[in-house]
Structure 1
Amino acid sequence: MPSLAWRKALKWFALALVIIAGDQLTKIYFNSHYQFGELREVIPGYFGFTLLYNPGAAFSFLADAGGWQKFFFTGLAFAVSGWLGWNIIKGKFQPLMNLAASFIIGGALGNVIDRLLHGHVIDFIQVHHYTNWYYPAFNIADSFIVVGAVLMVIDSIRHPEK
């Protein structure tokens, strides 16, 4: 029988698994229905879907570093996810921080799956401006990581003693 701490943590880990599943399903869809580099406009001049591969991290950081970055970012994602998961199990977080941690774990491990399976992260959301300004393409996992980080900041402002 799982301990009370594990049972309380289970819902947060289940949420992370739902995020991973949703992330992977969207990536499978775009990787199989789009050609690399193709852009299909949803809101012409502002928003669309594409298929791009990112061997680096956010904003293609270290994308051309020669391959070692895959292992670095994979290890970093496991370390951060492990630390967050351990703190969820130990009950060290308030509910908002648990939510943030679940978002970050789900997003980080979603991108790890890409790195391990493909050697790069699959990105497909493209925000741009008709004047040829393009925000770097991103994916569902990236979105959850960012929202999770914002929720962590909000929680740290609400509970500065933690």
Structure 2
Amino acid sequence: MTTSDYLTYIAGLPRVLAAAATLFRDERGRLLIVEPNYRKGWAVPGGTVESDQGEGPRQAARRETAEEIGLDLPPGRLLAVDWTRGPNRPPIAAYLYDGGVLDAAQLGAIRLQEEELLSWRLVEPGELDRYLLGPLATRVRAALEALGRGDGPVELEDGQPVDV
């Protein structure tokens, strides 16, 4: 196979997007969520993996957290991976990492990326459905359950656990 044939083959393969986010909590167990200005619903700090620049999911979670809320913290263990399908876009492989518990000083140091975010807040786990839309709420709940059990990561498709 020539280089040209190989590149043609690669160009014809299906495309998958990747995203990575970090799940932060406060000392009371509330979850840190952010309000994007470019779509409905809230999110957890995170975003697109810049794989074309050699970035992996863990690196993306750290970079996105630093960009979005101004905290440069290494992500903890992987809690969940979710394969999500959507209309008018390729599937997204979404990685969710444990960000740990933020203390009062860290919460006070949050600085929003004003180009993308309107606000942030801490919410009780039982309030997730009020803020997080689609499979994100179930992804976060599954990650919290894995965190509580001390196991994981959880494998999901469109926010629902995969039976194995």
Q: TM-score, normalised to structure 1's length?
A: 0.24
Structure (1 or 2) with the greater helix fraction: 1
* Structure with the largest fraction of strand: 2
